[in-house]
Structure 1
Amino acid sequence: MPIDPQAIKLSTDVPETLVGKRLDQALAELFPDYSRSRLKEWILAGNVSLNGTVCDKPREKVFGGEQVSLDAVLEKQENHVAQNIELNIVYEDEHILVINKPTDLVVHPGAGNADGTVLNALLSHAPEVASVPRAGIVHRLDKDTTGLMVVAKTVPAQTHLVEQLQAREISREYEAVVYGTMVAGGIVDAPIGRHPTKRTSMAVRETGKPAATHYRIKQKFRAHTHLRLKLETGRTHQIRVHMSHLRYPLVGDALYGGRPRLPKACSEAMINMLRGFKRQALHAIQLELAHPTTGEWMSWQAPLPDDMVKLLSVLKEDTAEHGFDDD
């Protein structure tokens, strides 16, 4: 069912506190529900007027006392199809929803994944997100990473959530299983950028964007470690790249970890588990943020998926069989 474009009509007086500000800066303070880039687009498109006269110059200064009016339309976004794909919804209200994403589900359509994604499912479950950029998707998880994601159902909610992300105010915690027995937790503070020769891969690079990942040990096994991780930033493949950089790649991560590493004298169950674990052992287990409308601090948890629970069970058995202390 097509979604009608959403009309935006706002009007207010410019207060004295904004005297001398550029028009785009003033609008960002007067209408904080919309991003600066969107407001600038509306100014350039002639959707903003001062005292009834259209002003299409973002740098024009305001003097205070003017009546500023915004008359624009939120167009329907990219022409993606709504698909009845089941979503595991952890929380929902009129502004946001939080989902627990399963493995093997792509978040956003792209090369090789034209549909069958979280975005297509969102358009079916909440058709109103068709007028929100990227159908309200604020952050992504890799196809084979499971766990919690927040989605905005309105443009104002999305604007506020993006601002929280940029200010590093949204807390995202993960659990992972890596190859190797780590001695202690710590932080990886290393910039990430596109790999110089592998187009689909990322890498730690001096010219990359700042990236920081905190990690602590939950449990040590004979040849593996169960970690709890917290992101400061949200770069593509960040945890996978950082753990590989430390030479403790994630179990199942063929892109950054290579072939499965089999410990000496491991059982057939262990061999089958490690060879058969076909995704990175990574789960977004906790998400915390301030609600974009009420400001209430909210927190959600998603238990480890069955495949990671089974992996940990096999690792524990292997550790016990070889007389190692896994505490």
Structure 2
Amino acid sequence: MSQQIELQAEVGEQHTGMRLDQVLSELFSDYSRSRLKEWILQGRVSIDGSVVDKPREKLQGYETLTVQAVIEDVIEWQPEAVVLDVVYEDDDILVINKAAGVVVHPGAGNHTGTILNGLLHNYPQSRQLARAGIVHRLDKDTTGLMVVAKTVAAQTHLVEALQARQITREYEAIAIGQMTAGGLVDEPIGRHKTKRTQMAVDPAGRPSVTHYRVAEKFRQHTRLRLRLETGRTHQIRVHMAYIGHPLVGDPAYAGRLRLPKGASPELIAVLRGFERQALHAAMLRLMHPITGEEMEWHAPVPEDMLKVAEALRQDSLEHDWQD
């Protein structure tokens, strides 16, 4: 069985002069290069509304690419008995609380043990859905809530809602440095120029907006609540590093470990032992894609992040630090 879905993305300035097939593989990385090339040759790709069937077509920048994608059953990835922490389920959607260290979608170096593998095992009908129904991703070491579609109709509506910024996602995080007030970061994000596995603030990147507020202040750290308007890869991590407050434990954007002056051996041990970004998708709110009912879920902050917060709280008390 197969289904047709429409994919759309804007070409950035950084893509000027690049070939169509190269840009498609970057903008739609969920799909293989060979599949994207096949869609081009089949006349399923258009640039600003005009069909193009030449993979080597050069782009000028700022075009709109549209792909009329035909999705066959997901056969390239194998079902696996991956345990999924399902916090809500009905006939149309699943809401999962993802654990740290679990990859959402198979990719380079992570072909097994992913959420997608688990979906194929637990929900065989998901083979008929693009990305097995996955609507949005969380980074490997980010924990928390994500919604998955169980039907084509639900997936179509959820993707549209996500693009229209109608799905609310709030995160809990612990940032390095003392922050006095909340705010927002409205800076475009694109692929890092030299570190291809990382993202960066880039004037030629895609619009990206992150709201944040201070939840708790520590002596040299801050606990935050953040809300995404957009959902770029690594968005919160990149934006917080950009304003000088990277997330505790972030292996890509925080640089070397920074220890508070006069930190106790206990706090040092906790911070050294925390080897992932301190980021948790704590709240998810959306309109049900079929019934239209507003729904909201909350996932408790995981134990490892609570341990870091408590150690920082104790450090503030020991140094008689007050907000």
TM-score, L = length of structure 2: 0.80
Highest Rg: 1 or 2? 1
Q: Which residue of 2 aligns with 1:94?
A: 91
Q: Which residue of 2 aligns with 1:157?
A: 154
Q: Which of 78, 89, 92 is residue 81 of structure 1 equivalent to?
A: 78
CA distance in 2, matches of 1:258, 1:281: 14
Q: Which residue of 1 aligns with 2:137?
A: 140
CA distance in 2, matches of 1:74, 1:259: 43
CA distance in 2, matches of 1:117, 1:37: 24
Measure how far apart 1:126 and its partner are: 0.8
4+ residue runs over 6 A deviation: none
Measure how far apart 1:94 and its partner are: 1.1
Q: Do the aligned residues in 1 keep the contact of 2:241 with 2:247 (CA within 8 Å)?
A: yes
Cα deviation per residue 1:1-43 (whole Å; 9 max; x = unaligned)?
xxxx26x8xxxxxxxxxxxxxxxxxxxxxxxxx74459xx99x
Cα deviation per residue 1:33-61 (whole Å; 9 max; x = unaligned)?
x74459xx99x98xxxxxxxxxxxx99xx
CA distance in 2, matches of 1:192, 1:199: 13
Q: Which residue of 2 aligns with 1:278?
A: 275
Measure how far apart 1:78 and its partner are: 4.0
CA distance in 2, matches of 1:183, 1:292: 39
CA distance in 2, matches of 1:193, 1:224: 27
Cα deviation per residue 1:201-220 (whole Å; 9 max; x = unaligned)?
10000000000000000000
Q: 1:37-52, aligned counterparts within 5 Å?
A: none
Measure how far apart 1:144 and its partner are: 0.1
Cα deviation per residue 1:155-195 (whole Å; 9 max; x = unaligned)?
11100000000000000000100100101100000000011
Aligned residues: 269
CA distance in 2, matches of 1:119, 1:35: 19
Q: Which of 167, 171, 174 is residue 171 of structure 2 equivalent to?
A: 174
Cα deviation per residue 1:210-232 (whole Å; 9 max; x = unaligned)?
00000000000000000000000
Cα deviation per residue 1:303-322 (whole Å; 9 max; x = unaligned)?
00000111111000000000
Q: 1:178-189, aligned counterparts within 5 Å?
A: 178-189=175-186
CA distance in 1, matches of 2:146, 2:75: 21
CA distance in 2, matches of 1:267, 1:127: 51
SS of the counterpart of 2:227?
Answer: strand
Distance of aligned partners of 1:74 and 1:274 in 2 relative to their CA distance in 1, 3 Å threshold:
closer
Amino acid corresponding to residue 167 of structure 2 in structure 1 = I
Cα deviation per residue 1:272-323 (whole Å; 9 max; x = unaligned)?
0111110000000000001111010100000000001111110000000001
Q: Which of 235, 242, 249 is residue 238 of structure 1 equivalent to?
A: 235
Q: Percent identity?
A: 60
Amino acid corresponding to residue 324 of structure 1 in structure 2 = W
Which structure 1 residue ranges, 5 or more long, are not aligned?
9-33, 46-57, 60-72
Coordinate RMSD, CA, aligned: 2.1
Q: Which of 308, 312, 327 is residue 309 of structure 2 equivalent to?
A: 312
Measure how far apart 1:75 and its partner are: 2.8
Q: Do the aligned residues in 1 keep the contact of 2:71 with 2:130 (CA within 8 Å)?
A: no
Q: Which residue of 1 aligns with 2:255?
A: 258
Q: Which residue of 2 aligns with 1:22?
A: none
1:289 aligns with 2:286: yes
TM-score, L = length of structure 1: 0.79
Q: Which of 112, 115, 121 is residue 115 of structure 1 equivalent to?
A: 112
